[in-house]
């Protein structure tokens, strides 16, 4: 049995946050999708929750269905970068110190700071099949608030299954989400043989 909607047992203070329609909708949709996912895969809900690889695969399934894991008002489910952006958000790719974290807007077309690029690189380093992340470029460590450059980002992308990568002189969050999209898909998309 999975708790969803009115039976999740919120306290009085947290109930106000839960009652927001997008949150309540997401809890119900995710619980139903988890039940279906467990029927399809033979996994139990607690196994999906306790195994990071199973959890990431389930999250990827949710994203492919258009269910957001985090609210980003400028990257709706219809956006071509919805899945990789949301997956990277779930993996902690947005540092907690910064304007993107403090807002519901990710601003995919804005250049990345060294701090933001480093957080993305760290998140992608945990993706199966990507391999160890290369060392962070020295400017990202010494001057994390400066804008990341194209050459720094290309070094960070070494060894990542990203296909053709086109980066501007000052790479954006959207460009790196697009670059890492194939690696995320390869690691987390359900096997093609599955029904």
Q: Evaluate whether residue 62 is within a structural domain.
A: no
Q: What is the mean pLDDT of residues 86-115?
A: 88
- Judgement on whether residues 102 and 39 belong to the same structural domain of the protein: no
Q: What percent of the chain has pLDDT over 90?
A: 35
20 with 109, same domain?
no
95 and 180 share one domain: yes
Q: Which residue segment(s) compose the domain that 12 sits in?
A: 5-50
Domain count for the chain: 2
Q: Is residue 82 part of a domain?
A: no
Q: Do 97 and 170 belong to one domain?
A: yes
- Dihedral sign, Cα of residue 89, residue 90, residue 95, residue 101: positive
Spatial separation of the C-alpha atoms in residues 124 and 163, rounded to whole Å: 15
| Phi/psi of residue 59, nearest 5 degrees | -60, -40
Q: Would you state the pLDDT for residue 1?
A: 64
User: What's the pLDDT score for residue 146?
Assistant: 87
- pLDDT band for position 27 (cuts 50, 70, 90): confident
Instruction: Supply the pTM of this predicted model.
Output: 0.83
Say if CB 37 and CB 58 are below 8 A apart. Answer: yes
Asked if the structure places residue 66 within a domain, the reply is no
| Spatial distance between the Cα atoms of 179 and 75, rounded to a whole number of angstroms | 16
Tell me what percent of the residues of the chain surpass a pLDDT of 70: 80
Query: Are residues 106 and 151 located together in one domain of the fold?
Result: yes
What is the rounded radius of gyration, in angstroms, for the C-alpha atoms of the chain? 18
pLDDT of residue 120: 86
């Amino acid at each position: 049995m999975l708790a969803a909607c009115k039976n999740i047992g919120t306290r009085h203070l947290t109930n106000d946050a839960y009652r927001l329609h997008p949150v309540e909708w997401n809890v119900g949709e995710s619980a139903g999708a988890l039940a279906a996912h467990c029927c399809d895969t033979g996994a139990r809900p607690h196994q999906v929750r306790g195994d990071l690889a199973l959890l990431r695969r389930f999250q990827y399934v949710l994203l492919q269905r258009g269910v957001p894991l985090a609210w980003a008002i400028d990257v709706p489910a219809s956006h071509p970068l919805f899945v990789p952006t949301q997956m990277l958000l779930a993996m902690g790719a947005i540092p907690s110190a910064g304007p993107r974290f403090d807002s519901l807007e990710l601003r995919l077309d804005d250049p990345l700071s060294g701090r933001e690029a480093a957080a993305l690189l760290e998140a992608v380093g945990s993706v199966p099949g990507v391999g160890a992340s290369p060392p962070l470029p020295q400017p990202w460590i010494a001057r994390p608030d400066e804008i990341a450059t194209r050459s720094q980002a290309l070094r960070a992308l070494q060894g990542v299954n990203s296909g053709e990568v086109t980066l501007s002189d000052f790479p954006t969050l959207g460009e790196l989400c697009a670059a890492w999209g194939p690696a995320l898909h390869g690691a987390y998309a359900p096997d093609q043989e599955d029904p």
